[in-house]
Amino acid sequence: MLATGENIFAAASAVMLLAIAAYVTANVAGRVVGYPVPYTVEVNGYMMVALVFLVGARTLRMGQHVKVELVTRHLSVRAQGLLLVVTNVLTFIVILACTISFWEVVISSYVHDFHSSTTLRAPLYLPQLLGAMGLSLFAVESAAVTARSILHRGS
């Protein structure tokens, strides 16, 4: 189930990346002929933020997250395992806190009917919702990675 959600979010992110490229290309071509595409910066900004958040869980599951091995590669296997557990627990705590805060922002934007300050006047909860959904999946995946690291350490 989790992998299916990750796949859907990854596919949505790929589509958004292609849409960004198309939007920017159309805007550049439009500027050449005197008709730029309206709202390019705003819409592309929303899509870029959404695609980053939507692929976080998949990146974590695949072990492709950013990590610095300058120090850890010099540690013993036992110390590396312990450090992995500690960092996974801390990562989960931070992601969970960010997820809760992000949902609070989405709810506040919806309840107070906040819109972007541009002429597009987009309801802010819509792009924020994509970020909250992506972070939620990221938090679930982080919990699974943390549990696996603890169980693996115990065996």
- Residues 84-121 have pLDDT tens digits of 899 899 999 999 999 999 999 999 999 999 998 888 89
pLDDT at 1 over 80: no
Q: Which two tokens stand for residue 129?
A: 């919702």
Which H or E run includes 51? Answer: helix 40-54
Residue 41, pLDDT score:
84
Residue 64, pLDDT score:
67
pLDDT at 155 over 60: no
Q: Could you say which DSSP state residue 39 is in?
A: T
pLDDT (mean) for 36-59:
85
Query: Using an 8 Å Cβ cutoff, are 29 and 37 in contact?
Result: no
pLDDT (mean) for 14-20:
91
Residue 66, pLDDT score:
62
pLDDT at 15 over 60: yes
Q: Could you say which DSSP state residue 37 is in?
A: P
Residue 86, pLDDT score:
92
pLDDT at 149 over 80: yes
The pTM assigned to this predicted structure is: 0.73
Q: How many residues does the chain have?
A: 155
Residue 81, pLDDT score:
87
Query: How much of the chain, in percent, has pLDDT values that exceed 70?
Result: 93
Residue 20, pLDDT score:
92
